[in-house]
Amino acid sequence: MAAGPLLNYGVSASSALVVERLGINDGLLGSIVSVVFVSAAVTSLWLGRLADRLSVRAQVAIVYGGSALALVVAAFAQQYALLLVAAALVGPTQAIANPTTNRIILAEAPPGRKTSWIGVKQSGVQASQLFAGLFFPAVALAFGWTGAALGAACVTLLLWLIAEVVLGRAAGAAPSEGEASGRKVRGRRRQGRPDAAEKVRAPDAVKATTSSAGRGATRAAERLPAEVWLTAAIAFLNGLGTQSTNVYLALFAVREVSFGVTAAGMAVAVAGVVGVVSRVMWGRRMDAGARPTTLLMIIGLGAIGSTVLLVLAGTLHQPALVWAAAAMHGISALGTNVVLNAFLLTLVPRERIGAASGVNSMGMFAGFSLGPIVMGAVLGATGHFTVGWWVMGGLYACGILVVLVLRARVGGRA
């Protein structure tokens, strides 16, 4: 979960340097990250379905290999267009990460611990934000943007190597597919039940009826519950505000509160480290039996509070309020996807979790892609951030309204 977002967080954390390097205006900064999430949103549904069929090792290769490639392309980008190419390349790595990790958790997590595991794995995104906030500005000041991006690519390749070692050990400990199939067949024979090879072939009419029923069941299985689409709407509205803050927080701190580049990167890191803790915390609250819709409403109110703090920070020119807003952003908005992903596990059967995760990811990435564009447009039109922060707060409020609709549909279940 941490590998894919390294490019976006690296661009955001060292935004002032990137803007200077490319010679672009501040409003275009958001478009770089928006391209990442347009690419992710467009590929989410397809990759979500693919995750239900593709091996975990192949999916891991897409995540780490795609991220490393995008960082290398970005490292040598001297023009705005080439950085957009890198952004498009990294989108699919983030689109498949949620379906892949949700599938692993369903297969491997002990009973009663699935939502806690989701909290831990979702915290990887904020671990990436923490790492990028500390790594990119410091390394870029010493070795330039190229050195920072290539260094991050090396970190991604190291993570891929570690993942391959872990997957190799897991494969060695588990029985092969052939062995498992053989055990099932022998078990059926001991119980006096024929296996598939021993069954008498059905008449054509029976086979046709079975085939029709199978197609009907498949079409029914492909129709996801309306609640899944509501979670996607919540993810979309939260994503609009979340990614706008992630992208523009450092630049806001430099432009309107007189932070240095390193201090602005530290503010992004604060949001990341608090986000790591908050995602684990929200996962544990779900494990303890808290209603997901209640948690989503609390998170939404906290997210609105973070935008109010940013407005006050710019108006009063108070650095302390930037740090407070970063922490509030981390504890609230950055925790939404933990609750949504944990809730998805209760809405669909295991064999459909990839498709459901793909729908949810599509909503999230669509919000992630539009948020920075909206914020950039407002910034370009007004010349300052205040109106943009109020718009993001209003979008969080709309998200709370959708949560209320979801709560009415699921009743006491959530």
Helices (H), 223-291: 226-257, 261-287
Q: What is the DSSP string of 85-108?
A: HHHHHHHHHHHHHHHHHHHHHHHH
For the record, the structure tokens of 115 come out as: 């939502």
For the record, the structure tokens of 326 come out as: 């970063």
Instruction: Specify the DSSP class assigned to residue 224.
Output: -
Average pLDDT for runs of 10 along the chain of length 414 = 91 83 79 85 81 85 94 91 92 87 83 79 83 89 91 95 87 53 44 42 38 38 77 93 89 88 86 85 84 92 95 92 94 88 79 78 85 87 90 94 90 64
Residue with tokens 């944990």: 342
Q: Give the residue among 240, 190, 255 at the shortest CA–CA distance from 367.
A: 240
Q: What is the Cα–Cα distance from 106 to 114, expressed in whole angstroms?
A: 7
For the record, the structure tokens of 251 come out as: 């630049």
Q: What is the Cα–Cα distance from 56 to 409, expressed in whole angstroms?
A: 34
Domain boundaries, the chain: 6-172+224-413
Residue 82 burial (10 A CB sphere; 0-12, 13-18, 19+): middle
6-172+224-413: which CATH architecture? Up-down Bundle (1.20)
CB of 236 within 8 A of CB of 365?
no
Residue 223 three-state SS: coil
Q: What is the Cα–Cα distance from 272 to 251, expressed in whole angstroms?
A: 16
- Give pLDDT, residue 216: 38
CB of 2 within 8 A of CB of 124?
yes
Is the pTM for the entire model greater than 0.75?
Answer: no
- Give pLDDT, residue 383: 83
Return the exposure string of 153-176: e unless at least 16 CB atoms fall within 10 Å of the residue's CB, then b.
Answer: bebbbebbeebeeeeeeeeeeeee
- Give pLDDT, residue 184: 43
Residue with tokens 């390349």: 89
**pLDDT tens sequence across 154-196:** 999 999 999 999 888 877 665 544 444 444 444 444 444 444 3
> What is the 3-state composition of the chain as percent helix, strand, coil, each rounded to the nearest 5?
85, 0, 15
For the record, the structure tokens of 140 come out as: 């870029």
